[in-house]
Structure 1
Amino acid sequence: MPLGEFELIDRFFRRPARRSPLGIGDDCALLAPAPGMQLAVSCDMLVEGRHFLSTVRPERLGHKALAVNLSDLAACGAKPLAYTLALSMPRVDEAFLAGFAAGLHALADAHEIELVGGDTTAGPLNLCITVFGEVPAGAALLRDGARPGDDLWVSHPAGEGVGGGIGDARLALEVFRGTVSLPGEDFEAVRRAMEQPQPRVALGMALRGVASAAIDVSDGLLGDLRHLLRRSGAAVARRESGTAGPGDCTLGVTLDTAALPRSVVLAARPEALQLTCLLTGGDDYELLFTAPPAARGLVERAAASATVGVRRIGRIEAAPGVHLLDAHGRPLAFEGQAFDHFRT
């Protein structure tokens, strides 16, 4: 007899409660942030065929479903506390559920958080996780703090080499699309970057009080950078004039494309493909952040404490516009677009 909803939950998702006294057995979870802390809450959905391929291994899908949410907490500088899971699937597949739960629980254990509730139902394969974190009141990293003259930084895996940069997830996608061919070892490296991103939680926490603004790279570096510029530009306009509309933007950036960290696999591809992967690829889940030039040493120490690489890739400008430079410091034309769920 196939498992029912509650048997499914009990077998694959019920674990001893640590942070929430109710575990996953009641209508609501009860969470209490420590005194002087604010709750940080984020929710992301993964839909089969849109966010992941049917060929992904279940344990990697479990990892990624939680990782993309933890990345949002990282961009806020928050410490993870707990999460909920809403799972829709066409039928009960015990082998899939065992692998999915293993990947999910492994990443949760690595960040010392627990599942505190959710829902299951029959339907297309769809994963929706909500994460809860805490951050000292007033200390959260936000998108609206960048200032003219700030350095622009991006994180990347520690060390250079295979899987040592950004853009690998997009390169893997191009292999799946059939537009690029890679040997087995190289393909596995970039596929792992696509399917098992590592949320930069430790770096986000270490950057509190150091970074002026931050965002995680999920829809492509240029697209997410524009979100940061728009929010920070509106904040500058409010300070200077007292008013700013949601579309106002008074900030720009000069971006050194040669400084963008990339793996040896991506670096061996044609320059046009490299730029597409680096600037518009998405699914990197690295932190893109700004900080005053005087804080460069603090940024590097924060990265070292988190055992993550960081690279200074540009400068925030007072005049609007994204100005790309090539390896010789010359203006570079690029027409790529960031990912948009309703335009792509």
Structure 2
Amino acid sequence: MPAVDVSGEFETIAKLLAPLAHPEWGRGLVDDVAVVPSRPGFDLVLTKDALVEGVHFLPEDPLDTVAQKLLRVNLSDLASKGVEPFGYLLACHWSQRCGWPERQAFAEGLARDQKEFGIHLLGGDTVVTPGPASFSVTLMGWAKAGRVVARNGARPGDAVFVTGQIGDGFLGLKAAQGALTLALERIEALIDHYRRPMPQTAFAEVVRDMATASLDVSDGLIADIGHIAEASGVGIELDMERTPVSLAGQAWLETRVDRQAAFEQLATGGDDYEIAFTAPAADEAALRREAERRHIRLTRVGQVVAGAGVRVRFEGRPVELARAGWTHG
């Protein structure tokens, strides 16, 4: 049963969600629609992701962090396309455990990230379900007309880059499940990354201006780079030992006997929400300057070649992978 009685959909909307609405376009969430004016010279870009309890987050995860992760995985999609976000539609499927305090926590998480990323709620729906809780967001943003960076623009001779660090999503899930033995501060950092990944929104304009192909890393670095290769009709050579890892990831690597297998787990685990992209190799110095200005780590992990698919190497030797990354049912 819920922790407290919840009067219903309208009280949840009026007391928790209406304060998050866009001051003009959201109509205070008292109408059935949101009205977004056109913006001359720009394309309206939309993305949608869902989180399901027991699949994308753990039943014991605090709902404020679930709300933040929900927004951030969508923000990551738009950032990887060079898009500026402005608002979102929200669907909440509250489970029986989602009483008023849990709903309040969820709304507080949304409020924190709305402020951090400059976005507003435009509308949506809330229902109660007898099954596990689930939430989805349709996030909207503006891109200069014709300037959205797709997956299909990679060309032989381009270099392959990734922002941030890879593997903390995989390790963070294990840490949250109590399956890692590391120093407490490392465990806490990994759990925080798993629950609240940080989208690279500050890098969006660099992607827009300099990338030839781009996407965010959600299924795993190798799998997602494979998506670029497939869409672009090219081959990509990936040097797995270049996979950038965090201090916590490095601490975990030091406990592994089989270093190659450990890197493979990090590069295929998914849930990282960094940006993987291709760009002309000649632009590497300029890209690094832009990353440094934004205090973003940038790593060159491979190169685009003629051919098809991803060819993975580890310290110069070809690697046959059991799997490239996460696959959705």
Provide the TM-score with structure 2 as the length reference. 0.91
> Compared with structure 1, are the counterparts of its residues 73 and 272 closer, same or farther at alpha carbon in structure 2 (3 Å cutoff)?
same
Paired residue type of 2:109: G
**How much has 1:294 moved relative to structure 2?**
1.5
For residues 258 and 226 of structure 1, the distance between their equivalents in structure 2, rounded to whole angstroms, comes to: 17
Residue 267 (1) aligns with residue 250 (2): yes
Q: Is the 8 A contact 2:215 2:277 kept in 1?
A: yes
For residues 33 and 81 of structure 1, the distance between their equivalents in structure 2, rounded to whole angstroms, comes to: 13
Equivalent in the alignment of 1:293: 281
Equivalent in the alignment of 1:122: 128
Query: Deviation per CA, 1:236-277, whole angstroms, max 9, x where unpaired?
Result: xxxxxxxxxxxxxxx111111222110122223222453233
Work out the percentage of aligned pairs sharing the same amino acid.
36
For residues 2 and 49 of structure 1, the distance between their equivalents in structure 2, rounded to whole angstroms, comes to: 23
Residue 98 (1) aligns with residue 104 (2): yes
Equivalent in the alignment of 1:155: 163
Instruction: List gaps (5 residues or longer) in structure 1.
Output: 157-164, 234-250
> Compared with structure 1, are the counterparts of its residues 206 and 23 closer, same or farther at alpha carbon in structure 2 (3 Å cutoff)?
farther
Equivalent in the alignment of 2:76: 71
Query: Deviation per CA, 1:170-208, whole angstroms, max 9, x where unpaired?
Result: 012234556532332211111111111111122022221
For residues 167 and 248 of structure 2, the distance between their equivalents in structure 1, rounded to whole angstroms, comes to: 10
**How much has 1:281 moved relative to structure 2?**
0.9
Equivalent in the alignment of 1:6: 10
Equivalent in the alignment of 2:139: 131
Equivalent in the alignment of 1:62: 67
Equivalent in the alignment of 1:17: 22
Equivalent in the alignment of 2:118: 112
**How much has 1:21 moved relative to structure 2?**
5.5
Query: Deviation per CA, 1:216-250, whole angstroms, max 9, x where unpaired?
Result: 001111111111111111xxxxxxxxxxxxxxxxx
Q: Is the 8 A contact 1:23 1:29 kept in 2?
A: no
Q: Is the 8 A contact 1:39 1:132 kept in 2?
A: yes
Equivalent in the alignment of 1:160: none
Give the 4+ runs in structure 1 shifted more than 3 A: 175-180
For residues 44 and 151 of structure 1, the distance between their equivalents in structure 2, rounded to whole angstroms, comes to: 29
Residue 193 (1) aligns with residue 165 (2): no
Equivalent of residue 27 in structure 1, options 4, 29, 32? 32
> Compared with structure 1, are the counterparts of its residues 125 and 110 closer, same or farther at alpha carbon in structure 2 (3 Å cutoff)?
same
For residues 293 and 110 of structure 1, the distance between their equivalents in structure 2, rounded to whole angstroms, comes to: 33
For residues 177 and 124 of structure 2, the distance between their equivalents in structure 1, rounded to whole angstroms, comes to: 34
SS in structure 1 of the partner of residue 303 of structure 2? strand
Query: Deviation per CA, 1:2-24, whole angstroms, max 9, x where unpaired?
Result: 32111111111112633516232
Q: Is the 8 A contact 2:225 2:310 kept in 1?
A: no
> Compared with structure 1, are the counterparts of its residues 305 and 139 closer, same or farther at alpha carbon in structure 2 (3 Å cutoff)?
farther
User: How many residues matched?
Assistant: 316
For residues 305 and 43 of structure 1, the distance between their equivalents in structure 2, rounded to whole angstroms, comes to: 30
Residue 332 (1) aligns with residue 319 (2): yes
Query: Deviation per CA, 1:136-187, whole angstroms, max 9, x where unpaired?
Result: 001111101000110000000xxxxxxxx21011012234556532332211
Q: CA RMSD in A?
A: 1.7
Equivalent in the alignment of 1:310: 298
**How much has 1:55 moved relative to structure 2?**
1.6
Equivalent in the alignment of 1:141: 149
Paired residue type of 2:8: G
Equivalent in the alignment of 1:245: none
Q: How does 1:209-224 map to 2 (within 5 A)?
A: 209-224=209-224
> Compared with structure 1, are the counterparts of its residues 17 and 335 closer, same or farther at alpha carbon in structure 2 (3 Å cutoff)?
closer
Equivalent in the alignment of 1:38: 43
Q: Is the 8 A contact 2:26 2:121 kept in 1?
A: no
Equivalent in the alignment of 1:236: none
Q: Is the 8 A contact 2:218 2:273 kept in 1?
A: yes
Residue 276 (1) aligns with residue 264 (2): yes
Query: Deviation per CA, 1:276-330, whole angstroms, max 9, x where unpaired?
Result: 3321111100000000012112312332343311111100110223222223x23
Q: Is the 8 A contact 2:230 2:308 kept in 1?
A: no
Q: Is the 8 A contact 2:217 2:273 kept in 1?
A: yes
Query: Deviation per CA, 1:106-162, whole angstroms, max 9, x where unpaired?
Result: 111112111010000011301010000000001111101000110000000xxxxxx
